[in-house]
Every structure is written in structure tokens, then in C-alpha cells.
Amino acid sequence: MSQMKVLYVYAHPEPKSFNGALKTMAVNTLLDRRHYIEVSDLYRMRFNPVAGPGDYLQRMDPEVFDPQDEALHAANTESFARDIYEEMEKVGWADLIIFQFPLWFASVPAILKGWFDRVFAVGVAFNPMTGSIYDRGMLAGRSAMLVVTAGDAEAAYGPDGIHGDIHTHLAVLNHCTLAYAGLSVLPPHIIYEADTLSGERGRQEIERYRERLLSVLTEEAGRYPIPPSAI
């Protein structure tokens, strides 16, 4: 198995949580297999999720703030703020990007949403004006996978479940963010009942994720099918 460069983007506020144990195991597993890894622990980094004029060291228009125009200008002049630029460098370096987070209100924590808003900038991750989206997206040649913990039972997140189909909830991120930027999207790894896992069940889920992680590192990335009803 060839060595891979993996960016692990982690969004959970408590290091001693079950999510923290999953992340620690994943990092150790990757290192044990001699893969290269960068970790963006967003809460530990105190990553600023709020996009704004401060994202740019040189403003194209200091009077009126247009995020898209400023991002394109920054992409052309390499004038993104340092915290954004460092994350963009990690993305450009990686072969595989893993995003781990708890499902909050059927979506990602705000800090991770803000990471996408600031790091997946037009001119860096995509550019609809040049047709650089989906298969021609600017991050093409890389793959991505979501690792998600959900609090309720699996049946509650099925097509007929009370919360709705979890794959429909995740389709917005998988299709309209990851695939939009050109990433090949792997099926998500989902852990249910994460809030109430016992010690033994928790260990079983950690082992299940370890086995999935080893499988992901050896399989060829493809396009994760998006539920038609989700688009």
C-alpha cells in the first residue's frame, strides 16, 4: 500500500469525548501504517468560523465588501489571511480529507461550516465562472469522507425515521460542497447512538471505524451516490 497524505479535519469541543477517542485512534492508525497526516482540530485551534473582510490582507475594494470578488482577488495575489492560507495549504497537500464531526441539527457544527466558508474559497476550491466545478473542480484528484456520530438509533435516521434519511441530510455537504469542489466522495462512516454507547459498545464502534479506515486507505475512491430527492 502506498503512503497517503491525509488531512483530518476534526470538529468536537471535548477532547475526552467519544469523538475524541475516535480521532485519536484514527490518527494513531494512520501513523502506524506510515501515512503522512495533518490534523486540523478546529476547537483546539480556536478556528474563527466567521467569514468577513479580515479574511484578506489586501482588499480589492476597501469601500464595499464583496466576498466572491475579494476571494478571487486573494487567490490571484496570494493575500488570504494566514489562518485561512495555512488550511488551504493542507487541503492542497492532501490525497484524502477526512471530516469528523457530531451531527447537530442534521448538519455540521458551526465551526466546521465556517471552515468550509473560509477555506473552500472561490478561486481556490472552485470557480463557476471558468467551469471549475464538480468533475472539473479545483480539488479534483483528491478524495474525501465524512465520519459522523449521531445521537439516536439508526432506525430514527432511515427513510421512514422520525429525523429523516441521514444520507439526505449529508447530501448537501457531500454533493454541493465536496463534490462541487471536485473531490471524489466516499460513503460516510456513521456511528449511531453515540450519546449512550456503553464501554463495550464504544470499543466495538472504535474497532469498526478502524477497520473502515484501513479499507478506505486501500480502496479506489469513487463517486458517492447522492439521493435524487436531496438535490
84 contact partners, CB below 8 Å, separation of at least 6: 55, 118, 119, 121
Residues 6+ apart with CB under 8 A from 122: 68, 71, 72, 75, 128
From 73, 85, 163, 164, active-site residue: 163
Pinpoint the alpha helices (H) of the chain: 18-32, 42-45, 67-77, 82-93, 110-119, 166-173, 199-216
Cα separation, 121 vs 52, whole angstroms? 12
Rounded to an integer, what distance in angstroms lies between the CA atom of residue 98 and that of residue 144? 6
User: Does the annotation count 209 as an active-site position?
Assistant: no
Mark whether 163 is an active-site residue: yes
CA distance 118 to 182: 17
Can you list the positions of beta strands (E) in 83-199? 96-102, 143-149, 184-185, 189-191
Strand 184-185 vs strand 189-191: parallel, antiparallel, or unpaired?
unpaired
* Helix axis angle, 18-32 to 199-216, nearest 10°: 40
Which of the following is catalytic: 43, 73, 151, 158?
Answer: 151
Beta 96-102 vs 36-41: how paired, if at all?
unpaired
Q: Residue 6 is inside which H or E element, if any?
A: strand 5-10
Judge whether 151 counts as a catalytic residue: yes
Cite the active site residues: 151, 157, 163
